[in-house]
Structure 1
């Protein structure tokens, strides 16, 4: 049996943060537009629960990304494997994350990885060099969530 999981991340702008992480991890942003159209047509969802982002309808306050090789439901766009779900919350981030993502580079490719992530909107916070034990950058995503480029 396959293990399917979803990591939920609080955000202030779920679609924008999903775009960043999809590009950073080479994942795909889920497209719930077919499901939304069905729910709107049936009267099960109001227009106030929907926004348009990058030309597609999505749920207000939510966006998800999935691994491109994992299966997904064609109607809902929801992945059935490795996923990150971003949900908007009213409060801003105030303390260090208790959980973070490490993005691994190819051998010798840390500088290029960190530069690519900066181009996507990440910020380098500090470089960590533990010699043979490892070398990485602590970075922040566009909303200040910590992660490491290793």
Structure 2
């Protein structure tokens, strides 16, 4: 039986990084507001564990995005498919990513996609052109995590 999974990305500001990646991938930011309200009302979490970001209540230090076509739990807002969870950690990024995301655009649309991602806050690092083997850009998200765009 195949296992479910999510990719967890360490961050300094989870909601802001989730906003970037949701816009970059055309994903949806998960909305845990209904779950948070239930947990607060039942006394299972304290107000200090909650923040507001863009009019939504979120768990402090966490924010997730999911593919808009994948199923999700309507009570918790948690996706059951392609999902990225951003979690705040105290230390900053210290080296090259050991795992990264490859973003693939439409054929012939590399320049347009790179420019769009720059407009969202990404930075170009290096262009790679391997002829028939491929052409892509290595970029960084707003917190310095590398990813490739092809």
Per the TM superposition, whether the score is higher than 0.5 is yes
- The count of residues paired between Structure 1 and Structure 2 equals 150
Is residue 33 of structure 2 the alignment partner of residue 33 of structure 1? Answer: yes
Is residue 79 of structure 2 the alignment partner of residue 74 of structure 1? Answer: no
The alignment yields a C-alpha RMSD, in angstroms, of 1.0
Paired residues for 1:42-121 under 5 Å = 42-121=42-121
Structure 2: gaps of 5 or more residues = none
Provide Cα deviations, 1:57-81, integer angstroms capped at 9, x if missing partner.
0000000001111100001000011
Paired residues for 1:2-13 under 5 Å = 4-13=4-13
Contact (CA 8 Å) 1:3, 1:81: kept in 2 or not?
A: no
Secondary structure at the residue paired with 1:40? helix
TM-score (norm 1): 0.97
Q: CA deviation at 1:31?
A: 0.2
Provide Cα deviations, 1:28-57, integer angstroms capped at 9, x if missing partner.
000000000111111111000000000000
Paired residues for 1:115-130 under 5 Å = 115-130=115-130
Regions of 4+ moved over 4 Å: none
Write the distance in 2 (CA, Å) between the matches of 1:149 and 1:58: 30
TM-score (norm 2): 0.97
Secondary structure at the residue paired with 1:5? coil
